[in-house]
Structure 1
């Protein structure tokens, strides 16, 4: 891969699909994708009164390892994720973990799909679940 960020729907989906393909070709342990922080997330990160793991300070991320998609959600985001998964019947939630001291839920999804379908799904997650607008920038931060 020679590019690691994108900010249009087509370019993001291509970037995500290329990252999935590179992950599989390299047999890497996982990939991680993050969106650019919103102004509210940036402001919250600088707020000394918020705990470090407060949902307001957490920038969303998606990881893929083999056929497992991993992400963290608040309760409202989890509801939106479940709604989105109705459009992806071949993807299923395998595990939900909500430690008592955490502000959300870690979700593991089995997603047996080609890189293009996964790329499209990741983009939909950032928009539908995490509320990013159509022009958000995303990075593949680790392969």
Structure 2
């Protein structure tokens, strides 16, 4: 493991919260978190990713993942879908979620997205790939 990857819930949430704090302190454009690719779930494509910028999460989802995301948001009432975009040439939907909260709550949401929306196991590995 490196400082920028983790594979337990506790380590991932700490990593994600630290990344949010670093993003805010640096005033960077965004931060990106990627989950390990799972060939059974991702086919030939890359693993899922989430970006966070200021107060907005950004992610791409399939129709089924979008339904699971909407269900997950019931656990995070302070977060709301702000924009859905489904270009004709894309398979899926780009979702922007307004999320005004502290770094720990944002980290918990990101971890839950990978598990509940993208169907990752409890011990999935994630990386912060950009801050």
How far residue 12 of structure 1 moved from its aligned partner, in angstroms, is 0.2
| TM-score where L is the length of structure 1 | 0.88
What is the DSSP-based 3-state SS (H/G/I as helix, E as strand, rest coil) of the residue aligned with 1:29? Answer: coil
The number of residue pairs the alignment matches comes to 130
Aligned residue for 2:31?
Answer: 31
Structure 1: segments with no counterpart, 5+ residues: 46-56
Note the alpha carbon deviations across 1:21-75, whole angstroms, 9 max, x for none: 0000000000000011113367x32xxxxxxxxxxx2421100010010000000
Larger radius of gyration between Structure 1 and Structure 2: 1
Aligned residue for 2:15?
Answer: 15
User: Alpha carbon RMSD of aligned pairs, Å?
Assistant: 1.2
| TM-score where L is the length of structure 2 | 0.95
Structure 1 stretches (4+) deviating beyond 3 angstroms? none
Preserved contact between residue 41 and residue 58 of structure 1 (Cα < 8 Å): no
Note the alpha carbon deviations across 1:84-135, whole angstroms, 9 max, x for none: 0011110000000000110000000000010000000000000000000000
Preserved contact between residue 67 and residue 110 of structure 1 (Cα < 8 Å): yes
Aligned residue for 1:140?
Answer: 128
- 5 Å-filtered alignment, 1:71-110, equals 71-110=59-98
